[in-house]
A and B are shown apart, each in its own frame.
Chain A
Amino acid sequence: MNKPSINTPIWDRERSNCKNRRERGAALANGREVAADDIIRLLETIIEPGDRVCIEGNNQKQADFLAKSLVKTDPALVRDLHLVQSVLALPEHVDLIEQGQVSLIDFSFSGQQAGRLATLVEQGRIKIGAIHTYLELFGRYFVDLTPKVALIAAQMADREGNLYTGPNTEDTPAIVEATAFKNGIVIAQVNEVVDKLPRVDIPADWVDFFVKAPTPHYIEPLFTRDPAQITEIQILMAMIAIKGLYAEYGITSLNHGIGFDTAAIELLLPTYAAELGLKGKICTHWALNPHPTLIPAIEAGFVQSVHSFGSEVGMENYIAARPDIFFVGQDGSMRSNRAFSQAAGHYACDLFIGSTLQIDMGGNSSTATKGRISGFGGAPNMGSDARGRRHASPAWLRAGREGRGSNSMPRGQKLVAQIVETSREHMQPAFVERLDAWDLAESAGMELPPVMIYGEDLTHIITEEGIAHLVRCQNPEEREQAIRGVAGYTQAGLARDKRMVENLRDRGIVQYPQDLGIDKRMATRDLLAARSIRDLVRASGGLYNPPNHFRNW
């Protein structure tokens, strides 16, 4: 008979390690609370070389105090980190890499740090695991990229360590859930410590330590678009979108990307769309951040529901006063959740429409430019057909019939549209034969060119020239000519086969404004429901309180 193995399996190595870290940290804390002056020591005490660390940073809310503190840690102690976070937004995130404390990063979006990141990659000073979409990265938090240490941001903590994340809850639940339940350490920076929270967004026993930051965490007003900057061309495109796409398909559930093009659509709902009798027939249910430019449409009764990825600075009071529209807690403030809203955008919306920098002749679009690794964010989640979707809606079924033909298995399709002016200033074309993404992939050694929306998912392109119903094309040649047909005076547009485009027009695949009964001369700023930030404040009955740098009064 064999003796019992002396190597009895140990099933809680990670848990013990986590417990050790917690105990080491406890020496510096009073309960869960850590003084701001002790935070650098706490980080040095808890973080071990090679740790997977998430510094909560998404496109709005930033755990900026913790990021700054991490930069000040001793590189001999805090090193070989693997950053796993949705956005590499702060200069400090990149400083950490430059200081040699990070060896690997997995992320979604890099925004303003895109240029510095590209340089570091080309110099071989940092390795990128992968660039994800939001949902994809959150998914991996629960599979193979679970954070060991999560540095998060909340508005308030109570003495126990319960957290109130409030309107800008954003990524916090996804990060904390993955970390806290898989032997990780959660450290929160908060703006205030109070006796009683307005509501509990994150329970204390998921939180190991919290610290009151010397200054409130930074929130970027990322989704505020000043109507004063909307051009006549954008208004024309918005008219084409409303009449040629929204009304045509009866789109009720949707997501809008960031930008002036979609802001123009929002501001035309109470005017142009209402005149077309579309109130109640389109744009009733949204997965959308609380765009200030949506206020007039909400006030006009167009909108029934909005679920948000995050909040928007200045919209708090307005949202609180419209609980029938937004997702609001019993305390009266909004709750956002990026993971859920991304899932909603992917599975529960009939349309995604957004802007881009470049579209190729296959309909692939990208915002990548050489020398900048900017990543994806959430657009690819929403801008792709949800192949797992099983609930039907008229718009989805119609797109499915057009896209897959009537002979195949009945099935719907997500409407995915790009709205873009054919050229930017100084004649820079939006339509190209080859995306810059290929050059970027080569120079940065990426396995995939960073394509935001793949051509096979794209059903519509809207430009100032008109709309291309790509979903109605029978073959790749027709698709290409439909794209060229709305590409205007770009080289790609001038290279179109005029006869073929005329044929596509006859069949309603390419539609110019006159084909849609749109008088271009109507496209003036008078059509906008609000022409300034001040108008938005008025429309909100004084509830919208714009950030100071958007004011001109």
Chain B
Amino acid sequence: MNSKTVNYFEASARTRITCLVDTDSFAEICPPHFRHTSPHLARLNAPVAFDDGVIVGRATVAGHSVLIASQEGKFNGGAVGEVHGAKLRGLMERALDERPVAVLLLVDSGGVRLHEANAGLIAISELMRAVLRTQAAGIPVFALIGGSCGAFGGMGIVSRLCAEVVISEQGRLGLSGPEVIETVKGVEEFDSRDRALVWRITGGKLRRAQGEATHLVDEDVHSFRSKTAQLLGAYAEEKLKPAGLAGLTEIQRQLAERTESYAEARDGRIIFQVSGFTDLEAVALMPIDAFNRQLGEAL
């Protein structure tokens, strides 16, 4: 498989791993034939998956050791159930023992799996804590976002806890999904069928311009791989480090400031405007490298 032609958005969770890591370096933990399937789905008479929608294991990327998890957005929207969540949390705990250069979370999830609500909610909160603990121990966690489900609900929060958020233009990051907002607040508040709006509010380019995502990459798996490899190099050489308490406090302060300065903003357009984009209509079709250049100049 040639990672240059494999589209990250389209690829399955397994293909993403195969294309992202060094050839033959991936060793799966709790592989499908262990059959750790969801007891809750089975009880509800719903189809189960052998890996419960998440693949976890260890691998190398450009020679750097990583632990890696990849959510399958096509299985129940990548939603986190009890087994799925336990695999993710277990991976974080393993990182404390194995001390890889980083943990990679290939996020593709709408959040908690409704079928197993309480178990899923607990799993997500455990995962948040585990991510913070892992990073506190000096091991960065990267969220890679570019699947059809984006990173929403609890997985949106988990992603924002990560030291690096690498996103593609198709990737979306948020808390409540557009459909949820529309259902609760009405179509006047958010028209989830207006997908240009959805992407202007939650999409990769906006999240990069806001700084919610640390890097914006092209939609092929190769672009995700090279950005990941570059970041791993920087962390391995300790040019970069996950933020400590002081760093997190500073980020918290900046966020509070941002909330105030954008209190009246009703649309992502204003963010692009502030970021220095003059032709707002052209932003959507702008190639990624041109977008990044523009942002670099503006920042």
Hey, which bits of chain A sit against chain B, CB under 8 A?
228, 525-526, 531-532, 537, 542, 548-553
Interface residues in B145-168 (C-beta closer than 8 Å to A): 148
Residue from B5, B148, B170 within 8 A of A553 (CB atoms): B170
Give Cα A552 to B196, complex, Å: 7
Nearest CB of A to B140, in Å? 28
Interface residues in B182-226 (C-beta closer than 8 Å to A): 193-197, 199, 203, 205
With A526-B5, A537-B285, A542-B285 as contacts: A531 and B10 at CB distance below 8 Å: yes
Question: Which residues of B lie under 8 Å from residue A525 when comparing CB positions?
Answer: 10
Residue from B170, B193, B194 within 8 A of A552 (CB atoms): B170
**Residues B196 and A548 in contact, CB atoms below 8 Å apart:** yes
Name 9 A/B residue pairs within 8 A (Cβ), A-sorted: A525-B10, A526-B5, A548-B196, A548-B197, A549-B194, A551-B196, A551-B284, A552-B195, A553-B284
Give Cα A548 to B170, complex, Å: 14
Question: Which residues of A lie under 8 Å from residue B195 when comparing CB positions?
Answer: 548-552
Question: Which residues of A lie under 8 Å from residue B196 when comparing CB positions?
Answer: 548, 551
Nearest CB of A to B64, in Å? 30
With A537-B285, A542-B285 as contacts: A553 and B199 at CB distance below 8 Å: yes
**Residues B199 and A531 in contact, CB atoms below 8 Å apart:** no
Interface residues in B261-299 (C-beta closer than 8 Å to A): 284-285
Q: Is B169 an interface residue (CB 8 A)?
A: yes
**Residues B7 and A552 in contact, CB atoms below 8 Å apart:** no
Give Cα A495 to B33, complex, Å: 37
Give Cα A228 to B199, complex, Å: 18
With A531-B7, A531-B10 as contacts: A552 and B285 at CB distance below 8 Å: no
> Which residue of chain B has the shortest Cβ distance to A525 in the bound complex?
B10
Give Cα A411 to B197, complex, Å: 57
Interface centre among A228, A532, A537, A549 (most CB of B within 10 A): A549
Give Cα A329 to B203, complex, Å: 39
Question: Which residues of A lie under 8 Å from residue B197 when comparing CB positions?
Answer: 548
**Residues A553 and B169 in contact, CB atoms below 8 Å apart:** yes
**Residues B10 and A552 in contact, CB atoms below 8 Å apart:** no
Give Cα A296 to B10, complex, Å: 20
Give Cα A553 to B285, complex, Å: 8
Give Cα A552 to B202, complex, Å: 11
Interface centre among B9, B148, B196, B205 (most CB of A within 10 A): B196
The 9 A-B residue pairs with the shortest CB-CB distance in the complex, in nearest-first order:
A548-B196, A551-B195, A549-B193, A548-B194, A553-B169, A551-B196, A552-B170, A549-B195, A548-B195
Give Cα A493 to B148, complex, Å: 37
Question: Which residues of A lie under 8 Å from residue B148 when comparing CB positions?
Answer: 552
Question: Which residues of A lie under 8 Å from residue B199 when comparing CB positions?
Answer: 551-553
Question: Which residues of B lie under 8 Å from residue A228 when comparing CB positions?
Answer: 10
> Which residue of chain A has the shortest Cβ distance to B172 in the bound complex?
A552
Nearest CB of A to B10, in Å? 7
> Which residue of chain A has the shortest Cβ distance to B192 in the bound complex?
A549
Question: Which residues of B lie under 8 Å from residue A526 when comparing CB positions?
Answer: 5
**Residues B203 and A553 in contact, CB atoms below 8 Å apart:** yes
Question: Which residues of A lie under 8 Å from residue B194 when comparing CB positions?
Answer: 548-549
Give Cα A553 to B170, complex, Å: 5
Nearest CB of A to B267, in Å? 13
Nearest CB of B to A521, in Å? 14
Question: Which residues of B lie under 8 Å from residue A552 when comparing CB positions?
Answer: 9, 148, 170, 195, 199
Give Cα A199 to B92, complex, Å: 67
Give Cα A552 to B197, complex, Å: 10
Nearest CB of B to A429, in Å? 22
Give Cα A63 to B132, complex, Å: 58
Interface centre among B7, B203, B205 (most CB of A within 10 A): B7
Question: Which residues of A lie under 8 Å from residue B7 when comparing CB positions?
Answer: 531-532
Question: Which residues of B lie under 8 Å from residue A551 when comparing CB positions?
Answer: 195-196, 199, 284
> Which residue of chain A has the shortest Cβ distance to B203 in the bound complex?
A553
> Which residue of chain A has the shortest Cβ distance to B168 in the bound complex?
A553
Interface residues in B14-30 (C-beta closer than 8 Å to A): none
Nearest CB of B to A531, in Å? 6
Nearest CB of A to B259, in Å? 26
Give Cα A532 to B7, complex, Å: 10
Question: Which residues of B lie under 8 Å from residue A532 when comparing CB positions?
Answer: 7, 9-10
Question: Which residues of B lie under 8 Å from residue A550 when comparing CB positions?
Answer: 195
Give Cα A548 to B198, complex, Å: 9
Interface residues in B93-125 (C-beta closer than 8 Å to A): none
Give Cα A537 to B169, complex, Å: 15
Give Cα A228 to B9, complex, Å: 10
Give Cα A275 to B194, complex, Å: 38
> Which residue of chain B has the shortest Cβ distance to A549 in the bound complex?
B193
Nearest CB of B to A179, in Å? 36
> Which residue of chain B has the shortest Cβ distance to A550 in the bound complex?
B195
Interface centre among A548, A549, A551, A552 (most CB of B within 10 A): A552
Give Cα A532 to B11, complex, Å: 13
Give Cα A531 to B193, complex, Å: 21
> Which residue of chain A has the shortest Cβ distance to B283 in the bound complex?
A553
> Which residue of chain A has the shortest Cβ distance to B284 in the bound complex?
A553
